[in-house]
Amino acid sequence: MTLTTGPIGGSAAWIGADMTTRSDWMVALTPAELAEIDDAIAAHRRAGRAMGEITPETFRLPTLAGRLSKVLDDLLEGRGFVLMRGFDLAQRSVEDAAIAYLGIGSHLGGFRSQNARGHLLGHVKDLGLDIQNPKVRYYQTNKELEFHTDSCDVVGLLCLRAAKAGGGSRIVSSVTLHDRMLAETPELWRALFNPMPTDRRGEVPPGMLPWFDIPVFNWHAGKLSTIYSGQYIRSAQMNYPEARRLSATEHAALDRLDALAAELSLEMDFRPGDMQFIHNHQILHSRTDFEDWPEPERRRHLLRLWLSPRTGRDLPPVYAQRYGDITPGNRGGIVVQDTELRFTLEPT
């Protein structure tokens, strides 16, 4: 275990209240770039390609590709998030929207499986499922999500339809959280470098335990990488008596991290067509609870991507418990014994 020796700072250490006065994290797609996207969708359809065949080479974006390269640099080396706006859904089918989203995503990284069923195109939608079921994920409900990270390098969301009320996206810099805890509560800061059992929620790779042990804060190769799901750390304490018991200091550290995340976060409302991308290793994300429309065809629906860029940072070996292979461009995602990789246009 290696601890940081002081505050990290830099462009990745931002505060939500300050970001509300800035607009550099918003990317407005131009008419020329939108025309390129439409041309690429048409070329994909003419070629009769499957969604799994979408790559930067097959989904050509002559000028937008350069802008997406800058977006990727901002994600991996800068503030860690971006919101792309201006993609009009009114004249596009869900399938065309998905093709465009996958095409844009392919310029940022390779697609990774988001659940045990191998979904490479995820659906964030209230399916009316019982959250008490250990195999049900919170994104399949309308409940508030606590701040957490996902099991990949970059997380993307495309808003197809917004909720009637609520459902705001909240993000926070884990670098800022680290620096604030180091300054204010060093004992609690130190506890977050301890490996903590985290529940896999039934998605267990062959030969693995139903939980994995990993620190929240990981200092490696000169960078802080954060992996966190407080809900699943706490559920591992309830569900697996053989998992290591957390100390009172470690519980207090999790509570303080959650409180600071809420205090320092940035909230943004999604409009249909908005695409949000975040760097999972330096951003925690959450969502407010929401009230949905009564009509099924109007209900909140987001498409999700998990991406692995070839230029991703080095990760510490302990991440292999969750990521499997930790080679940049080929890591992250959830794969169990019977996982079959697939793209689907319907949430299941």
pLDDT tens for 264-304 read: 999 998 999 999 999 999 999 998 886 776 888 788 899 99
Q: Does a structural domain hold residue 297?
A: yes
Q: What is the pLDDT of residue 264?
A: 98
Which residue did the predictor score with more confidence, 37 or 289?
A: 37
What value does the mean pLDDT take over residues 60-80? 98
**For the chain, how many residues are written?**
348
As a three-state string, the secondary structure of 171-183 is EEEHHHHHHHHHH
Q: What is the pLDDT of residue 35?
A: 96
Q: Does a structural domain hold residue 144?
A: yes
Nearest to 131 by CA among 115, 147, 143, 122: 143
Q: What is the pLDDT of residue 145?
A: 82
At 345, the amino acid letter reads L
Q: Does a structural domain hold residue 5?
A: no
Q: What is the pLDDT of residue 234?
A: 97
Share the mean pLDDT of the chain: 91
Q: Does a structural domain hold residue 218?
A: yes
Residue 216 in this model has a pLDDT that exceeds 90 = yes
- Neighbouring C-alpha atoms within 13 Å toward the C-beta of 14: 22
Q: Does a structural domain hold residue 10?
A: no
Q: What is the pLDDT of residue 8?
A: 97
At 157, the amino acid letter reads L
Q: Does a structural domain hold residue 135?
A: yes
| Number of domains the chain is built from | 1
Residue 262 in this model has a pLDDT that exceeds 60 = yes
Q: Are 189 and 277 in contact (CB under 8 A)?
A: no
Q: Does a structural domain hold residue 330?
A: no
CA distance 239 to 303: 31
| Percent of the chain with pLDDT strictly greater than 70 | 93
Please state the pTM of the whole predicted model.
0.92
Q: Does a structural domain hold residue 14?
A: no
CATH code of the domain covering residue 85 = 3.60.130.10
Q: Are 262 and 204 in contact (CB under 8 A)?
A: no
CA distance 241 to 111: 35
Domain of residue 285 covers 24-323
